[in-house]
Amino acid sequence: MMQVISFVTQKGGSGKSTTAASVAVAAFEEGRRVFMLELDKQGTLTDWTESRAAEEGPEFERIDSTMLEKAISTLKEAGYQLVVIDTPGADNPHINAVMRVSDFCLIPCRPTATDLKGCLPTVQSLIRLDKPFAFVLTQCPPRSGRVDEARAGLAALGLIAEPPIVSRADHQDAMAAGMGVTEFNATGAAAFEIRQLWNWIDHKLQPKVKKNVKAA
């Protein structure tokens, strides 16, 4: 079965591309056949792919949103297990098309009032489309009350993915090197958090199995 996740929010700089790349690589490292689609004309991930030296990893293509449905069905036929979509920082009809083809959407959000506010139109679109989604707190200061405040603000709006992604140079350096953080510094804290985040997402993607609860 192929599953599609997308990183969406009109707020630029929230960490869509950075988080998408590292999550895609982490899923690949765990044995998934992963394809990344970039719908952003800015081409952050195109640049990332071009700097990439690793022989193995997720496949990649930048496409126009008009090609999205065709691309998804082609990838399904080709046997990919996970598609990770990165989107531009704009709220336009193309993003709705992305949401529609996604099984689960992730909204990266920095723990600031402007980012929280900036998420709202995206949340409204997702609710309208009845799409499962979660916030990913990104670029968080380590050990700060800000993260708890943001968590409290977002909890009223939807699920929050775990763990919050702390602001770390590894993320920036990995992007510049064309790597996921788990490749760039496999034993670092950033890599650890991204693996946990992928596992959290993966868990949400699993079809719900009815638990047969037995008395102990």
The binding site for Mg ion (CB under 5 A) comprises 16-17, 44
**E strands present in 65-206:** 82-86, 104-109, 133-137, 159-160
Cis check: omega of the bond before 142, within 30 degrees of 0 = no
Per partner kind, with CB cut-offs from 5 to 8 A, the member of ligand ADP, Mg ion, none near residue 13 is ligand ADP
Within residues 14-43, the interface with ligand ADP by CB under 6 A covers 14-18
Query: Are 144 and 166 within 8 A, CB to CB?
Result: no
Structure tokens given for 141? 């200061």
Q: What is the Cα 156 distance to its own chain's centre?
A: 21
Distance CA 172, CA 3 (A): 27
> 105-144: which residues touch ligand ADP (CB under 6 A)?
108, 138-139
Residue placing its CB nearer to Mg ion in the complex, 11 or 16: 16
Q: Which residue of the chain is nearest Mg ion when measured via CB?
A: 17
171 binds ligand ADP (CB under 6 A): yes
For residue 59, the SS3 value is strand
Instruction: Identify the DSSP state of 67.
Output: G
6 scored as a contact of ligand ADP (CB under 6 A)? no
Residues 68-97 that bind ligand ADP (CB under 6 A): 89
Pick the closer one to ligand ADP by CB: 47 or 149.
47
Q: Give the chain's radius of gyration (CA, Å).
A: 17
Element housing 6 (H / E): strand 3-7
- Residues contacting ligand ADP: total by CB under 6 A: 18
Q: Which is nearer to ligand ADP, 144 or 215 (CB)?
A: 144
Stretch that binds ligand ADP, among 61-69, 77-85, 149-157, 167-175 (CB under 6 A): 167-175
- Closest distance between ligand ADP and the C-beta of residue 163, in Å? 11
Question: Half-sphere exposure of residue 69, counting CA atoms within 13 Å on the CB side?
Answer: 5
Q: Which stretch binds ligand ADP (CB under 6 A): 60-68, 116-124, 125-133, 166-174?
A: 166-174
d(CA 116, CA 50): 32
Nearer to Mg ion, 9 or 182 (CB): 9
Take residue 213 and report the two structure tokens written for it.
Answer: 């609860």
Q: Which is nearer to ligand ADP, 24 or 214 (CB)?
A: 24
Binding site for ligand ADP (CB under 6 A): 12-18, 44, 89, 108, 138-139, 165, 167-168, 171-172, 175
